Structure 1
Amino acid sequence: MLLPLAGTRLAIAPARAADGEVPSAYGRMLLVLDSSGSMAEPSGGGTTRIAAAKRALTQVVRQLPEQSEVGLRVYGATVFDKDHEDACTDSQLAVPPGTGNRGDLLDAIGAVKPYGETPIAYALRRAADDVGDGGMRSVVLVSDGIATCAPDPCKVAAELASSGVDLHIDVVGLSVSGGARQQLQCIAEQGKGTYYNADSAADIVKTLTRVSQRAVRPFRLAGTPVEGSRTAADAPTITAGQWTDVVGGKGSPDATRHFRVRRTMPGSTIHVTATTRGTVGKWDQIGVTLTGPDGSECDKEDDYRDIDQYSILSTEVVSGRDVPYIEDDCWQGDSLEIAVERGNFEDTRSAPFSLTVFEEPPATGVEQLPEWQETGAYVAPSVPGRAHRLVAGSGFADAPRIGTGRYALDIVPGESQIVRVPLDWGQQLTVRARFPAGTPGVEDLTGIQGPFGDLKLYTSLLGTMSAYASGTDNTSIMPGLRAGELTAMSPTVRYRNREAYGDGQPVLPGDHYVVVSMNADSDGDTWVQPYTLEVEVLGEPAGAPAYEGDAEVTQPLDALAVAQAREAPTSAPTGPTAAGGPAGSAAEADRPADDGLSAGLVGAVSLGLVVLLLVLLLLVRRRRA
C-alpha cells in the first residue's frame, strides 16, 4: 500500500550553484529523517520518537540562518507492506536544499508520520545526489533503527564519503542500542562524520537558546585547488599562495603528494605549511619535506595527533639563507620540491589539506637583529574586567581577530574553536582557557574526569608552535565537577627564531592563531561547556628586519590572498576541488572585545535529544578540520 506525504512538496532535482558562482560561506545540509514504523515507539520523556524528532527539527528550522542551504529527505514514509516492490526504494526529497524554504521545511516536518520500512542505504545514495558535488556538504541522518533493506548502509556510507572529500555523513541515533546502534555508529565513522546518541527530549529549549546565537559556517581549508603528483618527477609547479589537495590514508599510493615551487627573488626564504583536519578520533600525522634541486634535504617537519585529541594538524618548514645547517642549494637554487606525506597509522580514508607557500624577501643586517632565546617561564595573562561574549571561528579563515582581553565562550565535545591575535616583531602571546566546575548533570555524562581538552598556538603561516613556555599545560582532562585550565605562551616573534631548527618558532609577524579543542565523547553524549579565554599581547614592536628593495612583511596570509586573486586566471593548475574557495583576507583592524562578536562555529551536541537540536544547528557548517 502506498501513502502520499500530505502537505509536502516533492521535488526531483537538487538546488545547485550555477557555474562560476561564488560558493556560499555556509555549508549545504540535508536532513534525512527516519519515518519507519518503529519511530512510533516511546522515547524517553513520555513522548514518541517521531514526536520528539519533529519537535526538535521544527525549532531547529525556525532558528537556522536564512543564508544556509538546508533540505529534507524522508524514508519509510509511503510504503507499509515490506513485501511491496517499492518498499526498499521508499524515500522522497520533501524539500530540496536551498535558502528561503523554511516554510516548506516546517510543512514537510509536520506532515511526517511513522509508517513503513527502513531503506537507509537507498536514502543515503539519494541524499548524496541531493546535496550536489561541490562545496561543503553534510548529510545528517536521524534514525532509530537498523536497516531492513540491502545493501549494507555502512558500506554505502564509505562509498559516498570516498567519492567527495567535502561530504560528511553525521548520524543521530534516537533511543537505539545493540546492533542498531552499532550500525548507525558505523555509518557515521565510514561517512567521515560523527555519531550522536539521543535518549530523551529533555532541556531542548534551554540548550537551543544558547547555541542558536551562533553563526553557522562550514569549516573550510582556504586555497585554490591543485592536484599534486605521486612522484617528484611529475610534480606540478605552483607559486606562492594557498592551495588545496587531497592526501591518501594508510596504504594509499596517494599518501605522499609532490609539488614544485620556483623562487622569484634570488636568496629569498621559502616557507611552506601543510594543514589538515585529518581523521578526527584517530591517530594521525602530516609531514612536509623541502628538497633542493640537487636532492639535498632542506627541511623536514611533521605534526602528530593522538586518538584523544581533536586539534588541527599543521606543520611548517623553512628554507633560506639565514636558516642554519642547510646546503647552499636550498637557498640558492631556483626551485624546491615539496613533499606532503600523511603518516596515518590506522585509517585508509583520504583527507583534504591546504598548502600555504610564502616567499620572503632577503633581509640585510641580520646579525644586528635580536637573537633567538628560550621562551622562559609562563606568565599568566593580566586582563582584569568582565569577559565579553565571543563566538569563535571553526577554521583559520573565519576566525575573529581579537586583542588583549577576556572572552566568554562555550564549546561542545568534538569541536575546535579558533581566534586570531595580531603580533608584531618583538611581541609574544600568552593565553589561558579557564573552565568552571561543571554541574551534576554534566558529571553524569563525563564522570569524575571529563574528555581531553587541548590549547594550541599557530604561527602567522599556520604552522603549529611546539615551543611553549615552561610551566604551561596545554593538554589536559576537562573538568567534570572540578574547575580546570589550559595554558600556553608563544616565543617572541623574531627574525632569528629560524636559527632554532625544528622548534616550531614564530619567525614572521601577522595574525597568530589560538585553537581550543575538545575531543568527542565515546558514547556520543555531549553538552555545552562554558569557558573563559584570557589573551594578552606582551612587549612593544621592535626588531623588524630590513628587507631588500624596502619590502615589508606584516600580514603574510593577507598578502598571499591579494597576490593569488590577482593571478587567479593563470596560476592554478587544474585538479579536483579539495576544500573550496580562495583564501579570504582578515579584518582590516583589531576588533576590541565587544559583546556579540561572531565568526562561526563547528559543532555537534547532545544531552538527551538536545543532541539532535545542537547537531542540526551546528552541522550546517561542518568541519571540521
Structure 2
Amino acid sequence: MTAVLRPAAAVGAALCLTAVVSALPAHAAGPWDSYGFDANGRSVAGSSDTGNATALAPGSTYRSSLPVDGTVYYRLDLDASSTVYVSVTAVPGSGTTVSATDGIKVSVQDADSHFCSIDTASVGTDRRPRPLTALGARDTSRAGSRCKDAGAYYVLVERVHRAGSSSDTWGLELATASEPALKNDGATSAPEDWNSAPPTPVTGEATSRRGSSGFARATPLGQGVWRDDILPGQTLYYAVPVDWGQQLYATAELGSSDADNGLVARALVVSLYNPVRGLVDDASVVYDGSQRAAELQPLPPVEYTNRYDVSDRVSRMRFAGSYYLAVHLSEQMADRFGEGPYDLTLRVRVTGTSTVGPGYAGEPDPRGVFGVTARDRDTAAAQGPTSTDDDTAMRLLAAGGIGTGTALLMGLGVWTVLGRRRAGAQ
C-alpha cells in the first residue's frame, strides 16, 4: 500500500515549524544579534536610583539594557558570609560607532556608598563594537574588607561614552554567582612558587569544533588542537574545564591570507575569563596576511589562595570550573583582507593532577559552578564537530528574518519528502 501524505498533516507540520520559529527568544535577531544571550535569562530593567533597584538572585542570569547616559542600578540582598559575583556583559549594536575608550564600568557598593569592587572594560584600539565583560564582587574572604555585613548592596553599571560615538542603547547580560565561606580558616596569602615556564605547545591533527556566540552555551574544549572558522567582527566562546591544582595554557592562531593589504592592529584577541566571567588575561596579534599566534602567558595552578595576590591574572585563578576562552576577530579584517571566513586554530593544554577543593561550608549557587565533573571532562574531550544553540537551523531561520509564509513552505517541503520516503519504504 502506498502511503499518502494528507494535506491537513502537512499544514499541521508547517504550523508546528512556524510555532517553533516564533517561540525562539526575541534576541535571536536584532541590534544585538551578534551575541548569544542566555535563552533562560529573565528580563529586568535597571533603575536610575537605588530605591527602585531590582533584586538579583545569586545563581541567576538576567537580560537588561544600558542607555548612553546615566547609571543603572540593581540590588543584591546578601548574608554576612558568602562572596557574591556579578558579571556584566555589554553588547553594542551591530554597526554602531564606538571609540577606543568607549566601554562600561561595573561597581558594587554597600548601603552606605562604600565601594566593594570596581572593574572596567573598553573597546580598545580596534574601535569596532564587540561584547565587553566586567565583574563586580562583594568579597568576604579578604581581611579588612568593609563589605562583610548582611544587608542590601547595589550593582552600578555605567556607560563610558565619548563624543562622536553612537548614542544607541546597549544590551546587557548579567550573571550572578555565590561562593560560600570555608569550613575552616586557612592560609591568607597567595602561593609564592608555581611553574611559570611555558609548556611545549600541543601538536597533532586538529579536530573541528564550532564556537558559540556567548558565555551561556560556550562550546566545551579539552586538551588538544581544535579547528574553527571565524568571521570579521565575530566573537566565539569556548569553555575549558580546569580543576583544583591544574594549570591552563592556550594559544589562538589566525591562518594566513593570500591578500596583502597592510596591517590590522589587534586583529585577533583571545581573552580568558574565569568561571564567574572575570577577565583573567588576554593576548592579541598584529596581522599582515601571514599566520599569527596569540598566546596567553603562563598562569598559576587553580588555588583558593590565589585570591590574595594583587594581580588580577593570578587572583582570578581562584576556583575550579569552566574557564572561558573568548576569541574576537576585528571587523577591520574585512576591509583589508576580505570577508573571510578565516582559519582559527586553538591549542589548549591542561596540566597537573586534580586536587581536593578548599572545603566550602555550603553549596555554591549555581550548584557545581566551582568544580569539574567526569562528565565535564568527557564532553570537553569528545571528538568531532559539535552543534550549539547558535548553529541550529531553527535559529538561523529566525536570525535570517525568514517569514511565516516561507516557514510554511519549508514545512510542507520537509513533510512531503518524509512522505515520499515512507511510501518508497512501504
TM-score interval w.r.t. the shorter chain?
Answer: 0.7 to 0.9
Aligned AA for 1:273?
A: S
Percent of aligned positions with the same letter in both sequences? 21
- Picking from 529, 532, 555, the partner of 2:368 is 555
Other-structure match for 1:268 = 82
Q: For residues 157-207 of structure 1, what are the alpha-carbon distances to aligned partners after superposition, in whole Å with 9 as ceiling and x for unaligned?
A: xxxxxxxxxx23xxxxxxxxxxxxxxxxxxxxxxx79xxxxxxxxxxxxxx
Aligned AA for 2:369?
A: P
Bigger radius of gyration:
1
Distance 1:244 1:431, change over 3 A: same
d(CA) in 1 for partners of 2:397, 2:285:
28
Other-structure match for 2:353 = 540
* Residue 552 of structure 1, CA deviation: 9.4
Q: For residues 584-604 of structure 1, what are the alpha-carbon distances to aligned partners after superposition, in whole Å with 9 as ceiling and x for unaligned?
A: xx97943325122232669xx
Other-structure match for 1:400 = 219
Indicate yes or no: 2:285 matched with 1:476: yes
Aligned AA for 1:517?
A: H
- Picking from 262, 273, 278, the partner of 1:447 is 262
d(CA) in 2 for partners of 1:21, 1:520:
30
Aligned AA for 1:24?
A: L
Other-structure match for 1:141 = none
Contact 1:406-1:593 at 8 Å conserved across structures: no
Other-structure match for 2:279 = 464
Give the 5 Å matches for 1:20-169: 23-24=23-24, 134-137=26-29, 167-168=30-31
Q: For residues 22-64 of structure 1, what are the alpha-carbon distances to aligned partners after superposition, in whole Å with 9 as ceiling and x for unaligned?
A: 9427xxxxxxxxxxxxxxxxxxxxxxxxxxxxxxxxxxxxxxx
Give the 5 Å matches for 1:341-490: 341-345=158-162, 346-368=165-187, 371-373=190-192, 377=196, 379-380=198-199, 382-439=201-258, 442-443=259-260, 446-447=261-262, 452-466=267-281, 474-480=283-289, 482-488=290-296, 489-490=298-299
* Residue ranges of structure 1 left out of the alignment (5+ in a row): 1-14, 26-133, 138-166, 169-191, 194-216, 469-473, 560-585, 603-615
Q: For residues 540-582 of structure 1, what are the alpha-carbon distances to aligned partners after superposition, in whole Å with 9 as ceiling and x for unaligned?
A: 22262112247798732999xxxxxxxxxxxxxxxxxxxxxxx
Contact 1:289-1:338 at 8 Å conserved across structures: yes
Q: Give the 3-state SS of the residue equivalent to 1:453 in structure 2.
A: strand
Contact 1:388-1:593 at 8 Å conserved across structures: no
* Residue 509 of structure 1, CA deviation: 1.7
Q: Give the 3-state SS of the residue equivalent to 1:353 in structure 2.
A: strand
Aligned AA for 1:336?
A: Y
Other-structure match for 2:329 = 518
* Residue 501 of structure 1, CA deviation: 4.9
Structure of higher RCO (CA pairs closer than 8 Å, 6+ residues apart): 2
* Residue 296 of structure 1, CA deviation: 1.6
Other-structure match for 2:418 = none
* Residue 312 of structure 1, CA deviation: 2.9
* Residue 347 of structure 1, CA deviation: 2.7
Distance 1:300 1:343, change over 3 A: same
Aligned AA for 1:597?
A: T
Size of the aligned set, in residue pairs, is 367
Q: Give the 3-state SS of the residue equivalent to 1:338 in structure 2.
A: strand
Contact 2:24-2:398 at 8 Å conserved across structures: no
TM-score, normalisation: structure 2: 0.75
* Residue 617 of structure 1, CA deviation: 9.3
- Picking from 497, 500, 511, the partner of 2:309 is 500
Distance 1:276 1:533, change over 3 A: same
d(CA) in 1 for partners of 2:152, 2:193:
33
Distance 1:460 1:238, change over 3 A: same
d(CA) in 1 for partners of 2:279, 2:50:
26
* Residue 428 of structure 1, CA deviation: 2.4
* Residue 455 of structure 1, CA deviation: 0.7
Q: For residues 333-358 of structure 1, what are the alpha-carbon distances to aligned partners after superposition, in whole Å with 9 as ceiling and x for unaligned?
A: 22211111121322311111111121
Indicate yes or no: 2:156 matched with 1:339: yes
d(CA) in 2 for partners of 1:258, 1:552:
22
d(CA) in 1 for partners of 2:190, 2:54:
37
Q: For residues 136-162 of structure 1, what are the alpha-carbon distances to aligned partners after superposition, in whole Å with 9 as ceiling and x for unaligned?
A: 22xxxxxxxxxxxxxxxxxxxxxxxxx
* Residue 373 of structure 1, CA deviation: 4.8
Contact 1:393-1:399 at 8 Å conserved across structures: yes
Q: Give the 3-state SS of the residue equivalent to 1:371 in structure 2.
A: coil
* Residue 395 of structure 1, CA deviation: 1.3
d(CA) in 1 for partners of 2:384, 2:67:
42
Other-structure match for 2:379 = 590
Other-structure match for 2:110 = 292
* Residue ranges of structure 2 left out of the alignment (5+ in a row): 1-15, 402-426
Distance 1:306 1:517, change over 3 A: same
Q: For residues 210-265 of structure 1, what are the alpha-carbon distances to aligned partners after superposition, in whole Å with 9 as ceiling and x for unaligned?
A: xxxxxxx972245211112101122122211111210111xx2xx311111112x4
Q: Give the 3-state SS of the residue equivalent to 2:380 in structure 1.
A: coil
Other-structure match for 1:5 = none
Contact 1:434-1:485 at 8 Å conserved across structures: yes
Contact 1:418-1:514 at 8 Å conserved across structures: yes
d(CA) in 1 for partners of 2:304, 2:366:
11
Q: For residues 51-80 of structure 1, what are the alpha-carbon distances to aligned partners after superposition, in whole Å with 9 as ceiling and x for unaligned?
A: xxxxxxxxxxxxxxxxxxxxxxxxxxxxxx
